[in-house]
Amino acid sequence: MLHLGLAKRLPDDYLLAQLGNNVAIPVIVAATFAISFIYNVFIYPFYLSPLRNLPEPPNGHWIWGHTREIRDLPKGVAHERWMHTVPNNGLMRYRYLFNVERLVITDAKGLQEMLVTKDYDFKKPHYREAVVAPLLGAQSILFIDGDAHKAQRRHMNPSFSQRFIRTQLPVFWRYANLLGARLIEDNKLDSYPTTQPAPAFDMQKWSTRITLDIMGDVGFSTKFGALTETGTPIATAYGKLFGSSPSSVVRLLKMLGPVYNFEGLLTLLPSKHKKEFLRYLGIVRGACRKVVQKNRAEREFGAGLGKESLSEKEARYDDAEYVPRESSIIQTLLSEEIGFSDDVLVDQCMAFLAAGHETTASALTWGIYELCLNPTLQRILRSEIRGFGLHDPSINTHSMPNHQSLPQLYAFVAEILRFHPTITLNHRESLKDNTILSQPIKKGTIIKIPVLGFNHSVHEWGPTAGTFDHSRYLKQDGHGNVVYDGTGKAKSNWSLQTFNHGPRSCIGKEFAKEELTIVLAVLVGRFEWELEREGQVVEIERAAMFKKIKGGLMVRAKIVV
């Protein structure tokens, strides 16, 4: 820092003399702060920074930078707009509060260099750890780096393989059909006059409840009861942690956090929000700890009876005709071969619960929203789904028709994940002086990945990139049949940033896709959907961690005979 260099150049006797003067000390402190402020805010970003010559968005304020546009729009939307409107060669910068610089990568080559070639040279930014890490597990696979991350990833891969997912399909079907039954029961859809509008309900809440139950069962061999009970402690806690809007003071600290690391003050802030945050966080962590202790006790009890250790690969990959009761992610992680402590396992549970149910819940909610906007698409999907009997409430199978058997449904799911990514903006921090696309960047530089920008890019997806169109994932084969096209006619696999890429790509990608496909098969096959009001406009919750609809998604459903 400039003020430290200045102090080093001053004679020791001068400093001692000034320190002995009680009047001079505050003057020195004030002068040091002023010099540092002027240097960091007005000199370095414009005259000395290696990023100073990169393109940046117009209308940046002289001290607030481009913060207002970021603050006034849903997360990631400003970055998407800049990526598409500011001419650049793969990199651009914008200025945050007090002209703190941010680097934005807008080119697939730059992403590949950072996320694959130099992946462990970058990590999640330090300022996010104060708030996000307690929610997602500081020692979980989402936050650790280097060799520890590689080891955790290697140990967890078996629990997210296609073979493991196949053994869990009956669980997906069971909860999907339970959701259908609960919607009928709660809203009396089977006894409501067909001549009158059905009662409206919040689909966003139901989406969260079903994905929480699925993750509890598949992930932890635990029944959370979110679908069968109203207001279960863990469901309520998650709703408060991820769905509530923070106070104005907390929003201010979160805005200043990237500049001064003030986010750490959130844990010290004497406020109602902090008390509620810690209380609900304690409920979730407590539930996760009980899950770990219960599964460890069951495992040790089984070992004491001479039962074959679940760490054996044969137990992980049993025949598809038989699903062991212990077949869950947590049982795999409890193996002696891996040796995770209870604290690490609790953090892994926190990560899987949040990333494994909130993200899929968001995608499911947006999928229902798109169906409400397009009755024709509903009919196309319903015809395909019913052709395979997937609307049958008694279905309970380890199999699922493949992409080419259900091209319309799989294309619809793929388009939801493209057009409505749950995480709209990703972040990295450089761990050392480095380069991206030959551009020098300093240690500590924060890099932004505009997920929405890539997913909606005309350059990557063609002229209809900004519209929801599932047909981009369809094509005709040589016989004129409509088949699934997994490329979506995109320029490359880097065009889709929903699940990230490289060693840190989403480990649960295939799990989420299969879960979402089965739940939608039941909901579309059995119900006809519409918004509560014609022309209803939804607003994205700006303060939420994931892309959620403010106030929920009010819809009506009608049983299809």
Pairing relation of β-strands 91-95 and 101-105? antiparallel
- Amino acid identity of residue 349, one-letter, is C
Burial zone of 251 (CB within 10 Å; 0-12 exposed, 13-18 middle, 19+ buried) = middle
- DSSP type of residue 549: B
Query: Measuring CA to CA, which residue among 497, 176, 141, 528 is closest to residue 372?
Result: 528
> Binding site for heme: what residues are annotated?
506
- Residue 321 is encoded by which pair of tokens? 């005709």
Instruction: Report CA-CA distances (Å) from 559 to 13, 183, 184, 191, 454.
Output: 87, 10, 8, 10, 38
> Binding site: what residues are annotated?
506
Backbone Cα Rg of the chain: 26
Burial zone of 12 (CB within 10 Å; 0-12 exposed, 13-18 middle, 19+ buried) = exposed
Round to whole Å and give the CA distance between 114 and 383: 44
Round to whole Å and give the CA distance between 507 and 486: 19
Backbone angles phi, psi at 270, to 5 degrees: -80, 85
In three-state form (DSSP H/G/I as H, E/B as E, the rest C), the secondary structure along 10-78 is CCHHHHHHHHCCCCHHHHHHHHHHHHHHHHHHHHHHHHHCCCCCCCCCCCCECCCECHHHHHHCCCCHH
CA end-to-end span of the chain, whole Å? 71
Neighbours of 243 (CB within 10 A): 19
Round to whole Å and give the CA distance between 317 and 327: 9
SS3 373: helix
Instruction: Report CA-CA distances (Å) from 488 to 242, 308, 469, 492.
Output: 31, 45, 10, 9
Helix and strand counts by DSSP (H, E) for the chain: 23, 12
Round to whole Å and give the CA distance between 232 and 252: 32
| Segment (H or E) for 154 | helix 146-156
In three-state form (DSSP H/G/I as H, E/B as E, the rest C), the secondary structure along 263-314 is HHHHHCCCCHHHHHHHHHHHHHHHHHHHHHHHHHHHHHHHHHCCCCCCCCHH
Round to whole Å and give the CA distance between 301 and 221: 16
Instruction: Report CA-CA distances (Å) from 204 to 209, 317, 528, 552, 554.
Output: 9, 34, 17, 5, 8
